Structure 1
Amino acid sequence: MFVLDDVAACGQRAARLCLALRTGLAICIALFCLLASSPAAFSQSATLTISPATYTSAGVTMTYSIRITPGSVNIRSINATSSNIKGVPITCDAIPPSGFVIPFNCRGSYVTTATDNTTGQFGDNIRFTGTRTGGNFDFTTNYATATKQGGGGTSTTVSSSPNPALPGETVLIRARVSSLGCDAGQAPVAPSRSPSVRSRRPSG
C-alpha cells in the first residue's frame, strides 16, 4: 500500500508538472504572437538622404535616396508615393513574390526652385504604406534638408530722419539688411550704427 501511495503521489506530481509546462508553453506562445503583431516589434526604419547636401542656385537636380529596413517583418508590397512637402515622385526596388525581409532602396529627384534659392534651404520627408505578412504597415522617414551655398537672399531697406530735411539740418540715415530665408527679418542686420550727414544749404 505504501508503495502504491508513493506511485500515485508521484503520478499526481508528474501530471501537475506537465500541466504547468503546457500552461507555461501556451503563455510563451501567446506572448510571442502578441509581440510579433505589435508594430513596435517590427523595428522598421526608413532613412531619407538628399544629395548633394548643398546647392548653388535654382535649377539644380537633387537626388532623394531612401533606405528601408523591414526589420522582423516581410514587406509584400509598398505603395507608390510622393514626398510630403515637395511632391517628389518616389519609386522603389521591385518586390519579389516572396517579399522583402532585407533592406531595399527607393529613390526620386527634385530640381531646386527660385523659392529654394531665396530661402537658402529646403527640407522634405516621405510617408510609406503597404502590406506585410500578417497586416499593413505605415511609417515616415526622417526630415532631411539641403542648404544653399552662401545662404539665401537678403532685403535691404534705407530710411532717413527727418524726411524731408531742411537745408543745413543733420539727417540720420539707417540701413537694414534682412534675411529672406527661414529666419526672415531676424538676421543679419547691419550696420550696427547709423551714420549721419548734414544737408547742404543751396548755394547762391
Structure 2
Amino acid sequence: MLRLPPWRVTAPAVTPVTLAAAKQHLAVDHDEHDDRITLAIDAATAHLDGYAGILGRALVRQTWREHVAFWPAGRCVPLALAPVLSVASVTCRTAAGDQVTLPETAYRVLAEAGDPVLLISMTADLPTLERAPDAVTITYEAGYGDPADVPAPLRAAILMMVGDQYRFTETAALGVASAVPMSVTVDRLVAPFRRFRVS
C-alpha cells in the first residue's frame, strides 16, 4: 500500500533521559556543559525516536497523523509508529466532498504482535472516498508513556550515546587514522526494539 509518510502533530514534552540523569552518568558536577549535554541528549533521542529514528518507535508520549488513500480490502491499516497508546480519531473525505468522522465503535487497535494495526470493523458502514492520497486521516497517540515507562535498555542506550558525544567532540581523533569508535553496546541494547518500516 503506497502511503504518505506520517507526520508528528505534537512532539514529546520531555526527553526519555533528563539532564540530571545524563550528568550523573557522565560524573559531571558543574553546570558549564549543560547546553552541550542537553544537545547530546536531543541528538541521541532523535537517532532512536519517531519516524526518522532507527527504531520505528515513539519513545515518550507524542501525537502522530497518518493518511491512506482507500479502505483496505481486509480493513487492516498498519500504523507506522509503535507502541500506540490510543487513537484520537479516524476521519475521511467522501466522494461527495463531506468530512466524516468514524465512531469509536468502528475501529480498534491490534498491537499484541508489537506492530500495531488499525482494525476497522467489518460491520462498519464506510463511505465512498474522495480520490486523494490523504482521503483517510488517522490521528493517534504513540509512545511508551512517560520517560520512566521507556524501556531501560533504550534509556541506557541514550545515556551511552550522550557519553560518546561528550567524550569525543569530533568524528576523528588527532593522529588516529580510523574514525572515533562508538559503543557497540548501543547497537546491542536497541536491536530487540527495531521494527521494519511500514510502507
Q: Quick check: which one's helix share is greater?
A: 2
Q: Quick check: which one's strand share is greater?
A: 1
With the length of structure 2 as denominator, give the TM-score of the two structures: 0.30
- Where relative contact order (Cα < 8 A, 6+ residues apart) is larger, the structure is 2
Q: Which has the larger radius of gyration?
A: 1
